[in-house]
Amino acid sequence: MPNRSSEPLSKVRLDKWLWAARFYKTRAIAKQAIEGGKVQCEGARSKPSKEITVGTVITLRQGFDEKVVVVAGLSEQRRSAPEAQALYEETKESIAKRELFAEQRKSQPNHWPSPSKPNKKQRRMIHRFKQGEGS
């Protein structure tokens, strides 16, 4: 039953909150992330229908980043970005960890360039490696 009155919310579905806090573009994508194990509520896997309250700790993975956020406010409606950012607070440890991993990723080369095509001996070695070293 939707809350249409002016009284504040005490509980909100997890998938709805993730969508309202702008972590995911649609509720369907939020639901897939929760069911796929990319979102944990209080350190355990949960269902999209799990009701969360203020103070709940949520861990979510998006791409290479893993964020640990504490629910600071509840909303069932998707609003502007500044209002959405007021719904949660990311922990200091999470911010530091994300920055460290981002720095490590930037220091790694994107690809390992090959100076040229492999010669005949190198092709044979590649073929032998792919076929299995026992043969």
Are 30 and 19 contacting, i.e. CB atoms less than 8 angstroms apart?
yes
Between 109 and 112, name the one with better pLDDT.
109
Kindly provide the b/e burial profile for residues 67-101, where b requires at least 16 CB atoms within 10 angstroms of the residue's own CB.
bbbebebbbeeeeeeeebeebbeeeeebeeebeee
Q: What is the pLDDT of residues 56-105, one digit of tens each?
A: 999 999 988 999 999 999 999 999 999 999 999 999 999 999 999 999 98
Token reading at 5: 């009155």
Q: Which domains does the chain have, with CATH numbers?
A: 7-94 (3.10.290.10)
* Residue 28 pLDDT > 60: yes
Task: Give the phi and the psi of residue 44 in degrees, each rounded to 5.
Answer: -130, 155
